[in-house]
Amino acid sequence: MESETLGVPRVSHGSALAFCFLMLVVATLAGIAFGSRTLNFVSAMQGLSPDHEILVELRVPRTLLALWTGGSLALAGVLFQALLRNALATPYTLGVSGGASLGAVLAIVFGWTAFAGLSAVSLAACIGAGAVLILNVVLASNRGRLSSLSLLLAGITINSICGAAILFLSSLVGLLKSFAVTRWLMGGIDAPDYSTLIWLTAVLAPVCAVVFRYSREWNLLSVGETWAAARGVSTSKMLLVGCLAGSILTGAVTALTGPIAFVGLIVPHALRMWLGADHRILIPCSFLLGAAFVALCDVFSRTILAPVEIPVGVITSLLGGPFFIWMLSSRRGGVS
Amino acid sequence: MKCLFEIREAGVRYGSADVLSNASLKLYESEFVAIAGPNGAGKSTLLSLIAGLAKPTFGQCLFEGHPAHGWNRREFARRVAVVLQTEPTAFPFTVSDVVAMGRLPHATGLYENGKDTVAIAEALCAVEMERFRHRDFRTLSSGEKQRVLLAAALAQEPQVLLLDEPSSHLDLEHQLSLHRRLRELSGKGLLVVSVTHDLNLAAAYAERIVLLKEGTIRADGPPSEVLSADLLEAVFHVHVKVHQRASGQPWMLYGE
């Protein structure tokens, strides 16, 4: 009967996971196959230059970074939306991207290039993200207890302070550095070293596992803190775990790519409309679909105006925005 | 009968206002206790004290000998279920998702096991909401939501059931069936504590009424003792005429 299924269409968890995984595979293959230059796979496999180098040193690591970026941002989005009980929360709501950006901009403005073999910009972005995270938790805790409202207020405030500091810094420097700042803030994916990818995986994989492990707790917290506390969830502890996990996911990828808008908002939202709000399915599907989405956007960013690259953050919004509007308007009263 | 809760001279202060003061109360298993009183009398505060959700500013609230507020939340939730007023949710949880959340204190893994599934189905059946299990919780009426929240508490399989105005949105039939069910549950050994504004329902079904006014307990006893015209007029400032049913319980008419 229609009245009994109103609002939540039923899709089996297995088929949803299979679909999202398929999207991931398609996006990965597309990311490796397409680029500004047509790749000859036969000569790449035979180790012939330059196809071999393009495949191994550019396409594959770049696609892997795009996958991690999309997956992490979508996952952080889902998590912050649950913790803040607000479908409009994004990975950047708690100020982590503001901190990362400020760190990166400082590195650009002061011309730091490398530190101990690592990119100074990424390193400074990591430090900025970490500093903001600590500041946020300290500001938001009241006698050792966290509440989502105070996290939200602290995050929004820190974000706008960082934004103002970035504008101030870029107004002081010359045109060239100012352009580098703007370019960083647009978000873009470059092929990283494999050692960077290994580090990224070592940091992000356990965090993703922790986030998935507590899916049932996120379900309860997304209804309410009292609701969760009355059903045995240590709300303050779980808010801290969620805040740390989401900030690490966001901070680590933002340090490498700059802020990439919209993934953390649109992917969880689309999945919630399709699958309902149970985080046990929402979390794995968000990761897979977010990864696929950014990897595909990255393919477009390389190919649309090749050899000119459009920043991937621009593509996610330009493609994602209209798609999202179409999705909302194709469901009557679906904005929820 | 085993004493579950012992509240000793407990008080709660928010800012400079004492919303509850000097409350002493013992609650036993197999009891059906109604908490009544005017708005702002401290009923919900007393309930959150018992639920371990609020910390007493003065005195103590002990559950099985240990402060309710200091219990391990999960251990406590296996024993005590709370139904507060309707929970708004921003997300499209289904009715069975909401009821399944009541199983978290018993969870052994990420997914429900056979025992959980049975408890969820039985709880939905008990509130006559099994037909709605795939419905988006947000699309239900207030009364239906209340029944689903009760189901979530029943799925918790608690020894103690605490309810804050559980029948405020229910139609007559469901008000009666809810109270019949609460009495059945207390007959099976549960302690049921319900905050209510409906003195007639409390008189007909509860065995004990705790009457609060301005943060203090004014009376505590069986309905026939507590529900006297003089006391009710003093507490609620309305004229009350108390009649008696054939079964002996009082029933009341109110007027200016």
Amino acid occupying residue A334: G
Q: How many residues does chain A have?
A: 336
> What percent of chain A shows pLDDT beyond 90?
44
Give pLDDT, residue A330.
72
Residue in B with minimal Cα distance to A276: B92
Higher pLDDT, A307 or A332: A307
What is the average pLDDT score of chain B? 92
Q: Which two tokens stand for residue B166?
A: 């559980």
Residue whose entry in the numeric block shows the structure tokens 């229910």: B170
* A265 Cβ contact list (under 8 Å, min separation 6): A77, A88, A90
| pLDDT for A65 beyond 60 | yes
Q: Which residues, listed in sequence order, are joined to residue B208 by a DSSP beta bridge?
A: B33
Residue whose entry in the numeric block shows the structure tokens 């977010």: A290
Q: Residue A56 carries which DSSP code?
A: I
Q: pTM for the complete prediction?
A: 0.90
Mutate to test the interface with B, among A231, A269, A282 (most CBs of B within 10 A): A231
Domains of chain B: 3-86+159-255 (3.40.50.300)
| pLDDT for A334 beyond 80 | no
Give chain B positions within 8 Å (CB) of A78.
none
Cα(A77)–Cα(A94) distance, rounded to whole angstroms?
A: 11
Among candidates B33, B31, B13, B30, which has minimal Cα distance to B22? B13
Mutate to test the interface with B, among A8, A11, A213 (most CBs of B within 10 A): A8
The closest CB to that of A7, out of B75, B84, B92, belongs to B92
Cα(A69)–Cα(A262) distance, rounded to whole angstroms?
A: 12
The pLDDT of B132-151, averaged and rounded, is 92
Ramachandran region of residue A22, left (φ > 0), alpha (ψ -120 to 50) or beta?
alpha
| pLDDT for A211 beyond 70 | yes
Cα(A31)–Cα(A9) distance, rounded to whole angstroms?
A: 32
Give pLDDT, residue B4.
95
Give pLDDT, residue B191.
96
The pLDDT of A9-30, averaged and rounded, is 91
Give chain B positions within 8 Å (CB) of A222.
89-91
| pLDDT for B91 beyond 80 | yes
> Residue A274 CB: number of other CB atoms within 10 A?
18
pLDDT bin (cut points 50, 70, 90) of residue B255 is confident
Give pLDDT, residue A3.
46
Give pLDDT, residue A170.
86
Give chain B positions within 8 Å (CB) of A276.
92-94, 97, 136
Residue in A with minimal Cα distance to B85: A227
Task: Determine the distance in angstroms separating the CA of B201 from the nearest CA of chain A, rounded to an integer.
Answer: 26
Do A298 and A226 form a contact (C-beta atoms < 8 A)?
A: no
Domains of chain A: 11-309 (1.10.3470.10)
Higher pLDDT, A320 or A266: A266
The pLDDT of A15-28, averaged and rounded, is 96
* A184 Cβ contact list (under 8 Å, min separation 6): A101, A104, A105, A108, A121, A258
Task: Determine the distance in angstroms separating the CA of A274 from the nearest CA of chain B, rounded to an integer.
Answer: 10
Task: Determine the distance in angstroms separating the CA of B24 from the nearest CA of chain A, rounded to an integer.
Answer: 23
| pLDDT for A59 beyond 70 | yes
Among candidates A169, A185, A210, A24, which has minimal Cα distance to A92? A185
Residue B69 sits at the chain A interface (C-beta within 8 Å):
no
The pLDDT of B81-101, averaged and rounded, is 88
Residue B132 sits at the chain A interface (C-beta within 8 Å):
yes
Give pLDDT, residue A5.
46
Residue in A with minimal Cα distance to B88: A223
Which segment of A32-46, B46-60, B106-120 scores lowest on mean pLDDT? A32-46
